[in-house]
Structure 1
């Protein structure tokens, strides 16, 4: 099971430049969370701070009951073993084949025999669909395969927390979708806490249980997926709509005159797009961190954007969800009307399909 990450009043600067300040959030144990934000807002710096590679100016990072910035070196080293990290480019050693890349952490940090190492490495390569490619060098494989190899290496020490930095970087939409599916399946399989930094709006809208947004050196919000995807904050609407209208500019923040000109012309970041059904696991199981579609909105009296939670075949998953849950219960019989008869796994009409 994953470990909760609790951040309190975190501030980081380089010289006179403040990267972000007074950031507070809780990444729930075992759930998938995404951190969004315009380029240059310090998302990668945030990940490096969480793993102890950078020390914040002030604030706390609680990993379970350990306050990371205040740990002695020996305790920090032990706490880092709870983490696995997938870097933007995979960060593979170019002179090593995939097998040796994945085996590297085991050989460096454990005393396992080579037979034990082989068993673990092949298990992780199978998890990410790379069995048969283990003898290839990084220069002989595609960008998507490099990402999956980096993911296998991040998993090899069985981390309780997985940090993923820009998994979509350099990948086409199809490979990004395949990697998203892999991460959702892995979360269901290993139960680790996932924190993903991304610019990909489709990933942010369909994959996580929780979403946060960094902007102007602050955390605009962090919480359940539906909270951010239904927010009327101008910066949220602009980012989700990929519009030029709104507070985000080429230098991160637009000046007052630009915003006043947009307001005078009656321009705004646009309406929020519908909230899509969340991406399901390949075998249709319901992850512990996954909640009923529309549940957060209903509990907080929020009306979601029109068309929310409707899949590509027009099925409303606020209505379908109770039947789907019932169909997935052990020994459950399919409904007489055939809603999920025979094979309850997600197909084209299931939550997240084709998105």
Structure 2
């Protein structure tokens, strides 16, 4: 099962350039969270900070009672075994076939015999649908297959936390949909805490339990999926609905003149909140909330047509 990650007051700079400051959020154990934000806002930097590859200037990251920002390298090495990471391009070793790529963490971090390693590798490759491709080199694979191979490698140590750095990068919409379904099924099967950095709005709207948005060197909002998808906050609304009107510009934030020119522009209505993606077997994840529950509990009327046009979309009280 996954573990909770408690982040408090996290600040990171490179020289005089502040990446983000005072980032505070809790990634609930066993849930899927998505982190959004304009390009260049430090989403990947946050992932590297979570695994201890970068040290923050201030703040804490507490996992299983340990603040990894203050651990010695030896202790940090042990905590990293809780993590599995899928990098943007899979980060596979080009000279190794898929079997050896997936087996690498087991050979590096465990004392398992080759027969034990073979059993684990086959299990994980079966999980991501790559049985039969063990002898292929990364250069012989499609982008989607490389992503799945990278995911199999991230899973071999049975991590409690899985980080995805733009898993949809370079994939077409169909393969992105397959990968999203794989993530949801994986969460149901092993209960890991999952954080996905993505720019894909459909992924953000349908996959996670929680959504966060980094903007202008701070965390603009983080909370349950329905909270952000029904939000009237300008930066959240602009990003999630892919609008040009709002505080985000080509260079992250617009200047005062641009914002003044847009002041009287009428924003389009929020789109309906879609149903959350279900596991393939149709059984809800253990932490999955009923559609409309958050809106009902907080007295929010979601956009018309939300949740597949059910009564919940029209009357939040129907969710209770």
Q: TM-score range by the shorter chain?
A: over 0.9
For structure 1, the residue ranges without an aligned partner over 5 or more in a row are 320-355
Mapping for residues 291-330 of structure 1, pairs under 5 Å: 291-310=289-308
User: 1:281 is matched with which residue?
Assistant: 279
Mapping for residues 200-239 of structure 1, pairs under 5 Å: 200-239=200-239
User: 1:347 is matched with which residue?
Assistant: none
Aligned length: 314
CA apart distance, 1:284: 0.8
2:305–2:313 Cα contact (<8 Å) kept: no
2:3–2:30 Cα contact (<8 Å) kept: yes
SS of 2:307's partner is coil
In the alignment, the residues of structure 2 paired with residue 124 and residue 8 of structure 1 have an alpha-carbon distance, to the nearest angstrom, of: 34
CA apart distance, 1:247: 0.4
User: 1:130 is matched with which residue?
Assistant: 130
CA apart distance, 1:270: 2.8
CA apart distance, 1:285: 1.2
In the alignment, the residues of structure 2 paired with residue 164 and residue 269 of structure 1 have an alpha-carbon distance, to the nearest angstrom, of: 32
CA apart distance, 1:271: 2.1
Q: Encode CA deviations 1:27-58: one digit per residue, 9 max, x unaligned.
A: 00000000000000000000000000000000
In the alignment, the residues of structure 2 paired with residue 287 and residue 273 of structure 1 have an alpha-carbon distance, to the nearest angstrom, of: 25
CA apart distance, 1:143: 0.2
In the alignment, the residues of structure 1 paired with residue 99 and residue 120 of structure 2 have an alpha-carbon distance, to the nearest angstrom, of: 11
Q: 1:317 to 1:158 in 2, by over 3 A?
A: farther
2:12–2:19 Cα contact (<8 Å) kept: yes
User: 1:21 is matched with which residue?
Assistant: 21
TM-score computed with the length of structure 1 as normaliser: 0.87
Q: Encode CA deviations 1:78-120: one digit per residue, 9 max, x unaligned.
A: 0000000000000000111111100000011111000000000
Mapping for residues 1-355 of structure 1, pairs under 5 Å: 1-263=1-263, 266-310=264-308
Runs of 4+ in 1 over 6 A off after TM superposition: none
1:106–1:157 Cα contact (<8 Å) kept: yes
1:246–1:268 Cα contact (<8 Å) kept: no
CA apart distance, 1:157: 0.3
User: 1:332 is matched with which residue?
Assistant: none
CA apart distance, 1:133: 0.8
For structure 2, the residue ranges without an aligned partner over 5 or more in a row are 315-320
TM-score computed with the length of structure 2 as normaliser: 0.96
SS of 2:146's partner is helix
1:90–1:150 Cα contact (<8 Å) kept: yes
2:85–2:164 Cα contact (<8 Å) kept: yes
In the alignment, the residues of structure 1 paired with residue 170 and residue 92 of structure 2 have an alpha-carbon distance, to the nearest angstrom, of: 15
SS of 2:145's partner is helix
Question: What root-mean-square deviation, in Å, do the aligned CA atoms of Structure 1 and Structure 2 show?
Answer: 1.2
Q: 1:193 to 1:298 in 2, by over 3 A?
A: same
In the alignment, the residues of structure 1 paired with residue 189 and residue 223 of structure 2 have an alpha-carbon distance, to the nearest angstrom, of: 23
In the alignment, the residues of structure 1 paired with residue 63 and residue 88 of structure 2 have an alpha-carbon distance, to the nearest angstrom, of: 23
